[in-house]
């Protein structure tokens, strides 16, 4: 099956639809946002705000909702800091939860999907431990860049909805401090994490587990269709996790912190900390400076997601047999292979002909990329055009094999978009992220960030042009 990316966002009215409270009091705790000394609107994502009927708010209204967190009409009041546990770098941690954010609102989007608006950096909650509950401005800027780039590259991701600078000085070990503060709002298709299930099994709350499974199937997977909902949810989630892994690899993305509390039951990627894009096809490329073992390095991400699925399966055995879950876990490598293949074909702009027929092309692509004669983004720009490239970087035997496979393929995309003739791959390597941040930090110059967002969105259009 060819991969079809998410459609361009379109306008729809505001339709509040609070469902989370159906899960009772144990799912989250009522909290209040911090009061901030300043509110300077730095980014509003009108492209996605229009899908939930919020694109036409004035800036003042926007800041009231996404800087001061005045409730949206008919929505959560007060917001909820969600409860969850999680495996962090494979160690179980029962002391986490929304420590610097909360679920602010739920609503329907243009495709009638149930969406959440949730915060990062809105102050302490019962789950903050020793943290200050805050987000650095740089962290917020980095999250904008990650989400825009991933969306353009066909990864299902949360959208960075709003970023408001809040005028505090924060101290962080990994940024020159004091550093500027911000509060971010993200739009996401659920904030139910694998770790949400882990907390419920730790509490041996079978009733809540049943309710949560039902909630997820009903609101995120089109309803309960079998008499074994836990297995049904697991199968659907596993398919989504395989797709997420395949899309990360094709994008050259390294999330950095693939802990079970950072993995959404809908398979939508979210929560971006020390992420990076690997410039070259380098299996061991690691994003987080604190990931000493390379547990979450580039090529181990499919394995990490598989391992996380096993933890979800383990939690679900509170209410179902393990055999069908194990069967689904065993199918993950194949599902990952299929998803990866579909994403590579999509990024190359060729018709996907099914896993077995596509495999030689994708194996050849991986071998060619592994030579590291060009960056990943350069590779997909050059080979994504109609005419196969002849540059000296592409003369090795591995490229002859790949060229041969490409020559057999039918184009699935128009390469008339100017991006394909630009000779200028849109990338998101660390030097560029730092340069965008430096312009803000040193000169309060937001232009490079705005320009980059524009460029990324253009590349997104080029990849989708039919």
Which residues of the shown chain bind ligand AMP in the complex (CB under 6 A)? Answer: 96-100, 127-128, 131-134, 257, 261-262, 271, 273
**Residue 268 binds to Mg ion (criterion: CB under 5 A):** no
Q: Which stretch binds Mg ion (CB under 5 A): 40-48, 101-109, 206-214, 261-269?
A: 261-269
262 binds Mg ion (CB under 5 A): yes
Helices (H), 135-228: 137-152, 194-202, 206-220
Q: Considering CB distances under 5 to 8 angstroms, the limit depending on partner class, which of Mg ion, ligand AMP, none binds residue 99?
A: ligand AMP
214 counts as catalytic:
no
Q: Which long-range contacts (CB under 8 A, 24 or more apart) does 175-178 make?
A: 175/136, 175/138
- In this structure, are strands 179-188 and 114-120 parallel, antiparallel, or unpaired? antiparallel
Does position 271 interact with Mg ion (CB under 5 A)? The reply is: yes
Select from Mg ion, ligand AMP, none the partner in contact with residue 273, using the beta carbon and a kind-dependent cut-off of 5 to 8 Å: ligand AMP
| 398: contact with Mg ion by CB under 5 A | no
The residue among 99 and 167 lying less far from ligand AMP, judged by its C-beta, is 99
Burial of 131 (0-12, 13-18, 19+ CB in 10 A): exposed
Max CA-CA distance within the chain?
A: 63
Which of Mg ion, ligand AMP, none does 34 bind, CB closer than 5 to 8 A by kind? none
Supply the DSSP string of 225-237, one letter for each residue. -SS-HHHHHHHHH
Residue 131 touches which member of ligand AMP, Mg ion, none, C-beta under 5-8 Å by kind: ligand AMP
Q: Containing H/E element for 416?
A: none
| Nearer of residues 250 and 262 to ligand AMP, judged by Cβ | 262
**Helix/strand number for the chain, H first, E second:** 14, 12
Q: Closest separation between CB of residue 193 and Mg ion, Å?
A: 8
Q: Which residues contact 121 (CB under 8 A, 6 or more apart)?
A: 100, 101, 133, 134, 135, 139, 140, 166, 181, 182, 183, 184
The DSSP symbol for 114 reads E
| Cβ closest to Mg ion, residue 162 vs residue 262 | 262
> What is the dihedral sign for C-alpha 306, 348, 408, 392?
negative
98 touching Mg ion, by CB under 5 A: no
> Is the CB of 145 or the CB of 329 nearer to ligand AMP?
145
Annotated catalytic residue, options 29, 109, 116, 261: 261
| Pair of tokens at residue 101 | 């954010």
Taking CB within 5 to 8 Å according to partner kind, which of ligand AMP, Mg ion, none is near residue 96?
Answer: ligand AMP
Q: Which is nearer to ligand AMP, 196 or 262 (CB)?
A: 262
Binding site for Mg ion (CB under 5 A): 262, 271
């Amino acid at each position: 099956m060819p991969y079809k990316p998410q459609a361009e966002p379109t306008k729809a009215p505001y339709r509040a639809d609070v469902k989370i409270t159906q899960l009772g009091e144990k799912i989250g705790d009522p909290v209040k946002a911090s009061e901030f000394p300043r509110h300077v609107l730095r980014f509003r994502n009108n492209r996605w705000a229009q899908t939930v009927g919020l694109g036409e708010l004035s800036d003042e209204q926007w800041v009231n909702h996404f800087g001061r967190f005045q409730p949206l009409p008919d929505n959560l009041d007060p917001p909820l800091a969600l409860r969850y546990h999680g495996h962090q770098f494979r160690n179980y941690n029962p002391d986490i939860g929304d420590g610097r954010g909360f679920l602010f609102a739920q609503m329907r989007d243009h495709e009638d999907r149930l969406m959440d608006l949730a915060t990062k950096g809105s102050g302490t909650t019962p789950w903050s431990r020793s943290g200050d509950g805050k987000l650095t401005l740089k962290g917020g800027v980095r999250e904008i860049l990650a989400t825009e780039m991933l969306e353009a590259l066909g990864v299902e991701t949360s959208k960075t909805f709003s970023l408001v600078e809040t005028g505090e000085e924060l101290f962080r070990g990994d940024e020159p401090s004091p550093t500027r503060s911000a509060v971010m709002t993200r739009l996401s298709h659920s904030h139910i994490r694998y770790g949400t299930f882990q907390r419920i099994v730790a509490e041996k709350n079978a009733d809540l587990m049943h309710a949560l499974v039902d909630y997820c199937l009903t609101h995120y997977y089109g309803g309960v269709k079998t008499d074994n909902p836990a297995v049904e949810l697991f199968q659907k989630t596993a398919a989504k996790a395989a797709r997420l892994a395949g899309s990360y690899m094709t994008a050259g993305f390294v999330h950095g912190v693939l802990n079970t509390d950072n993995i959404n039951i809908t398979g939508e990627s979210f929560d971006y900390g020390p992420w990076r894009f690997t410039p070259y096809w380098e299996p061991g490329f690691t994003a987080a400076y604190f990931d000493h073992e390379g547990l979450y390095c580039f090529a181990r991400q499919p394995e990490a997601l598989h391992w996380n699925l096993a933890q979800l399966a383990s939690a679900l055995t509170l209410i179902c047999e393990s055999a069908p879950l194990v069967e689904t876990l065993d199918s993950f490598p194949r599902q990952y292979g299929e998803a990866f293949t579909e994403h590579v074909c999509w990024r190359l702009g060729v018709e996907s002909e099914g896993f077995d027929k596509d495999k030689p092309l994708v194996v050849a692509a991986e071998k060619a990329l592994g030579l590291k004669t060009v960056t990943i983004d350069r590779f997909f720009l050059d080979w994504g055009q109609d005419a196969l490239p002849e540059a000296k970087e592409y003369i090795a035997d591995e490229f002859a094999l790949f060229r041969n496979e490409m020559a057999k393929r039918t184009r699935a995309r128009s390469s008339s978009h100017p991006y394909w003739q630009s000779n200028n791959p849109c990338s998101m390597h660390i030097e560029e992220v730092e340069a965008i941040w430096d312009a803000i930090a040193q000169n309060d110059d937001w232009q490079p960030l705005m320009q980059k967002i524009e460029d990324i969105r253009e590349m997104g259009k080029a990849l989708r042009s039919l």
